[in-house]
Amino acid sequence: MIIDGHNDLVLRTLKGDEIHHVHLDAAAEADFCGGFFALFVPSPQPEKPESDHYALPLPEPVPREEAARVAAEMYEVFRSLPIELATSPDDFRPGRVAAILHLEGAEPLAPDLSDLDDWYGRGLRSVGLVWSRANDFAEGVPFRFPSSPDTGPGLTAAGKDLVRRCNELGILVDLSHLNEAGFWDVARLSSAPLVATHSNAHALCASTRNLTDAQLDAIGESGGIVGINFAVSFLREDGLNEADTPLSEIIRHAEYVAGRIGVDHVAFGSDFDGALVSSELDGIRGLPGLVDEFRSAGWDEETVAKLTHRNWLRVLGETWRG
């Protein structure tokens, strides 16, 4: 059974774009049982240059009313997919796809959180405070290489209230895309395991989107988890956005995280249909082959099971309410 930390299938479906990775008709054969399905409100942004050094400006914040409108459209698309809404770890079972409703960026939420309970009632169980651009709750990291993720101020007062309320409701707070000051604010506030659904090790690839050793340590100490992102520009030491990248780069980051904070704190966080991944990986169809690569690298069956699904199930069980 394979559970994944992030995909952008909903956005691609809404826009009518070609699906590159999350082919649901191949899920059963690939042992893909679902994971986090993002509702992401897009904004225009420049293409990443094919360079080993880059610093892209972030788009302007999306007005809350516009974000709420788009998120409502995306929710309807999400519910139309042939998937089961996941609100309990028990919803993940072989032979079907269960989807965690995830807001990638909290822009659709009212700053006073007056609509959060309604979203919870609709099935929301994961919130990423930001998708890089600033909003009413926090600031994210711009896309820079090489650069530290320490790029701006921490959470706003509304952001701190959002973390506390998510803890009360049992909504997972996702730290991916959040800047370092915001990360440490969440670490101080949250009573739940710290989670970065789709991020990698900054020590191996010095992108703003990756986690420093100190951040990894905090995640491990909290009982949390890092979903390894398959985006090649967050894997490669040179930061290049090239599909001709071996699968061993994914293993390299997983082994680094596991070696630093333990095998109980690493999982998959592919970023399928939202990023360029290795040409050796044919979306979810390629996941069994990737798992075999981990076995060839010396991961035993118990450790592979933790990587592919047990770690996610544990963290969801410790975070969600009944």
Number of domains forming the structure of the chain: 1
Which residues lie across from 101 on neighbouring strands? Answer: 37, 124
What's 193's domain CATH number? 3.20.20.140
CA 160, CA 242: separation in Å to the nearest integer? 38
pLDDT digits (tens, 9 = 90+) for 248-288: 999 999 999 999 999 999 999 999 999 999 999 999 999 99
Predicted local confidence at residue 57, as pLDDT: 79
Residues 247 and 270 sit within 8 Å (Cβ to Cβ): no
The model's confidence at residue 56, banded by pLDDT at 50, 70 and 90, is confident
pLDDT digits (tens, 9 = 90+) for 162-206: 999 999 999 999 999 999 999 999 999 999 999 999 999 999 999
**Which structure tokens are listed for 4?**
């994944």
Interstrand relation of 32-39 and 54-56 (parallel, antiparallel or unpaired):
unpaired
Predicted local confidence at residue 48, as pLDDT: 53
What DSSP string runs through 26-40? GHHHHTEEEEEEEE-
Q: Which residues contact 137 (CB under 8 A, 6 or more apart)?
A: 106, 109, 111, 129, 130, 155, 156, 158, 159, 162
* DSSP H or E run through 126: strand 124-128
pTM assigned to the model: 0.97
Which residues lie across from 268 on neighbouring strands? Answer: 4, 228
pLDDT digits (tens, 9 = 90+) for 215-256: 999 999 999 999 999 999 999 999 999 999 999 999 999 999
CA 102, CA 28: separation in Å to the nearest integer? 22
Q: Supply the Cα-derived Rg of the chain in whole angstroms.
A: 18
**Which structure tokens are listed for 86?**
């996941």
CA 110, CA 82: separation in Å to the nearest integer? 30
User: Residue 95: which domain range?
Assistant: 2-319
- 58 vs 265 pLDDT, higher one: 265
- 54 vs 104 pLDDT, higher one: 104
**Which structure tokens are listed for 53?**
């050094």
- Whether 50 shows a pLDDT value over 80: the answer reads no
